[in-house]
Amino acid sequence: MPVVLYGPAYSTYTRTARLALEEKGTAYDLREVDTLAGDGQKAEHLARHPWGKVPVLEHDGFSLYETVAIARYVDEAFPGPALQPAGAKRRARMAQVCAVLDHYGWSPMVITVFVQRVVVPMRGGTPDAGVIDEAMPRCGRVLAAIEGLMDGQEFLIGSDLSLADLHLVPILDYFARTEDGRAMLSRHPRLSTWWEHIEQRPSVAKTRPNLG
């Protein structure tokens, strides 16, 4: 049965789910739910997700929301390269990286710095320098923590791509589109090398949002 993924292409979490599907080589139908336009609060989407968030995956009569759950399901339900490392310690480290990004990284890096530096000017506004200045130390703490947890060279966890990489890609992509983000990333050499490599992957290029 076909895989259907509900969510906007611009969403970091929708993109993580798409990256997992792309890396597994699983065909899917992306159905846009423009949460910024209020589509997430429409009855049809609330029936899929009680909080109106994205993404939501549907496959063979099975419906699933929450990105970490979706990504793990994609890895375990479909053929293709494994996206979770072998061994309890590395799997725990992968989960730790995802949790750090969810709880401490996404909001300051995307919702504050990226939105203020990129989205606000696109809409004719002026970035709030005070808000950005307050968020940047929190962003730096996240990058330092992730770099400190890396135990691989080419990838974050070990020698193979994992869901930790796919969780970080969309967040760091938006953050690195800002001058503040690029400057901070340059102070973390291992993460900088990781980013230079991974942004060339076909899945990353294919799913990169075009902001116009």
**Torsions phi, psi for 4 (to 5 deg):** -115, 130
- Structure tokens, 57: 């995956």
Domain 88-204 has CATH 3.40.50.300: no
CATH architecture of 3-77: 3-Layer(aba) Sandwich (3.40)
- Which of 34, 32, 123, 20 lies closest to 73, judged by CA? 20
Q: How far is CA 139 from the centre of its chain?
A: 15
pTM over 0.95: yes
Chain segment 77-87, per-residue pLDDT in tens? 999 999 999 99
* Helix (DSSP H) and strand (DSSP E) numbers for the chain: 11, 4
pLDDT digits over 135-191, tens only?
Answer: 999 999 999 999 999 997 789 999 999 999 999 999 999 999 999 999 999 999 999
Task: Locate 129 and state its tokens.
Answer: 């320098």
Domain ranges of the chain: 3-77, 88-204
Convert the pLDDT of each residue in 90-111 to its tens digit: 999 999 999 999 999 999 999 9
Spatial contact of 108 and 131, defined as CB atoms under 8 Å apart: no
Confidence of residue 212 (pLDDT cuts 50, 70, 90): low
User: Is residue 2 scored above 90 in pLDDT?
Assistant: no
Taking residue 17's Cβ as centre, other Cβ atoms within 10 Å add up to: 31
